[in-house]
Amino acid sequence: MMRLIFLGLPGAGKGTQSERISKIFNIPQISTGDILRENVKKGTEIGKKAKSYMDEGKLVPDSIIIDMIKERLSANDCSEGYILDGFPRNIDQAKALETFSKIDKVIFIDVPTDVLIERLTGRRTCRKCKAVYHIKYNPPKNPDVCDLCGGELFQRDDDKVEVVQKRIDTYNSKTKPLIDYYKKKNILIIIDGNRNIDEITTDIEKKVKGN
């Protein structure tokens, strides 16, 4: 059983790394941001409620997020474990999570703030398969087309520079306290996220296995 949480500032590489670790250990990657964006796209009730918060770089209300994640974790594919990417985002969410799931390890990907702005504003995502690129550090062969599936690449609304600063502020005030919270529970693993993507994956894999 492997129930993992990935923590880090927006742009630290949570999405990229959790996707890779998900394949290595064959457990699903559950991104609350992806689920929310999917809901916004489809125009569901959740999507309508969440959109204005997301556009402003604020957290979506806990009541919406907690119900959403509780339901997702009850699905069959979570029986051997999962990776939570982007949840919990504050102490109340962490406490709610404890009422319906145990957590084995928390991976904090540590990256200095100045590196993040460049990373986020250069990020491009595939509309179809959700693959993530960076115009400078991990460029696709063709700037608008996904190498993997041929889908269209786009810049997330909240990766635009004004919203990025707001998301960093939100992280510092709401999410950062989780680092101490999980450190005290002795399940925190700190990973230096200012290295190349492969090195970081190898390091996480090793530390999750416990060596």
Beta-sheet strands, E only, within 42-155: 81-85, 105-110, 123-126, 132-134, 153-154
Which lies closer to ligand AMP via its Cβ, residue 27 or residue 164? 164
Interface residue with ligand AMP, options 9, 57, 97, 120 (CB under 6 A): 57
Q: Is 156 a catalytic residue?
A: yes
Neighbours of 75 (CB within 10 A): 11
Which one of 70, 105, 156, 176 is the catalytic residue? 156
Neighbours of 79 (CB within 10 A): 10
Which lies closer to ligand AMP via its Cβ, residue 162 or residue 210? 162
Q: Where are the alpha helices (DSSP H) in 108-160?
A: 113-121
- CB of residue 109 to ligand AMP, shortest distance in Å: 13
Interface residue with ligand AMP, options 5, 65, 96, 164 (CB under 6 A): 65
Cβ neighbours of residue 130 closer than 8 Å, sequence gap 6 or more:
34
Q: Is 130 a catalytic residue?
A: no
| Interactions with ligand AMP, residue window 79-98 (CB under 6 A) | 86-87, 89, 93
Q: Which of 26, 189, 4 is nearest to 97 (CA)?
A: 4
**Sign of the four-CA dihedral 183, 8, 70, 83:** negative
> Does residue number 159 form part of the binding site for ligand AMP (CB under 6 A)?
no
Interface residue with ligand AMP, options 4, 7, 36, 200 (CB under 6 A): 36
**30: enclosing H helix or E strand:** strand 29-31
Q: Is 89 a catalytic residue?
A: yes
Site residues (vs ligand AMP, CB under 6 A): 10, 32-33, 36, 53-54, 57-60, 65, 86-87, 89, 93, 158, 167
- Residues assigned a catalytic role: 14, 89, 123, 156, 167
